[in-house]
Amino acid sequence: MAAMQLHWDIFCRVIDNYGDIGVCWRLARQLAAEHGRQVRLWVDDLASLQPLCPAVDPAAASQSLAGVEVCHWTANATVGRPAEVIIEAFACELPPVYLQAMAAADRKPCWINLEYLTAESWAEGCHSLASPHPTLPLTKYFFFPGFSTASGGLLRESSLLDERDKCLASLHGHDEIEISLFCYDTAPVGSLLDALSTSSQPVLCHVPPGKPLAAVEAYLGGQGRWQYGRALIEPSAFRPLDDYDRLLWQCDVNFVRGEDSFVRAQWAGKPFVWQIYRQDDAAHLVKLEAFLERYCAGMGQQLEAAVRGMFMAWNTGSEVAPAWRAFIEHRREIAFHNRRWAEQLAAATDLAAALVNFCAAKV
């Protein structure tokens, strides 16, 4: 391995508690474990990483975890010599001193702006585009995760699908519909709970702490567990990344939000409902439609109507109960489609490998 391809720095500012750092932590771990890279992960909020990786010490300036050097990114942090590859996650803006050190290096590093995941077609046209710095002798490349070979792919560890299948083979059948509920505070949680309470089958719903549990507590009162009609609503501890994957595999339906849990739900091959981050002027609904157009391709008319109906109801707060009934009625067909969808996505190069390949040609 050429030394110039070995050292990577990933910079992450935590914006939505878990999404940004979840993506960066998964990527850092995989680069170290599967590609032999020496990775420093710079994070401005270590407390948000700790639920995903309980071994983290939020007070430590630097620590080694899963083969990754995790550094607390503060205004006074000394970041030292720049790496050969620098990932600026989600346009977080590199420290000015570090940027100057990059410009002064004899061999300029490969500088990547890792963008948010979107299914919109314009992102494929912008993927891997170069952006020269206006004043420094540096070039930044835009790298877009995505759902086609024209994009940078999705995060997927090499053993993930095999581990999923082993887990699924070990599960026992159950009578209830098991659900995981991870959402923003704008989700129509009360309407969903009402729909679950009148389900034709018993329901077990796992609710993590934070915004999901706060929404349930506000609607049902108290601190749970709650037996609400046919539904048992059960608070659950926040799960580290790998445990969260296993929860997605065991559940019959997964409600997910943002980017990280959204991608992991797709690898789970189970029916899922995605709440996209709300934006002004309903711009998020354009992004949602772009995903649904890709995801629903090949579905029959009734199946597509059930999936689209539930996704739109969950993201707009309208007609949740009828949308849920149609969705759950088709859940076995949806599960079959999701399994094929995951296989289709897995045929493409995963995000970590795509980054390694791209940077090797640039450094």
Catalytic sites, residue numbers = 20, 259
Neighbours of 134 (CB within 10 A): 6
Q: Which residue has the tokens 């914006």?
A: 15
* 3-class DSSP state of 194: helix
Query: For the residues of 255-281, what is the DSSP string, one character each?
Result: EEETTHHHHHHHHHTS-EEEEPPP-GG
Burial of 221 (0-12, 13-18, 19+ CB in 10 A): exposed
Cα–Cα distance, 85 to 70 (Å, whole number): 16
- Residue 203 φ then ψ, to 5°: -125, 135
Location of structure tokens 């507590």: 217
Measuring CA to CA, which residue among 156, 175, 168 is closest to residue 351? 156
Q: How far apart are CA 88 and CA 93, in angstroms?
A: 7
Helix-, strand-, coil-residue percentages of the chain, each rounded to 5:
45, 20, 40
3-state secondary structure of 289: helix
CA distances from 83 to 10, 78, 218, 333 (A): 9, 14, 47, 47
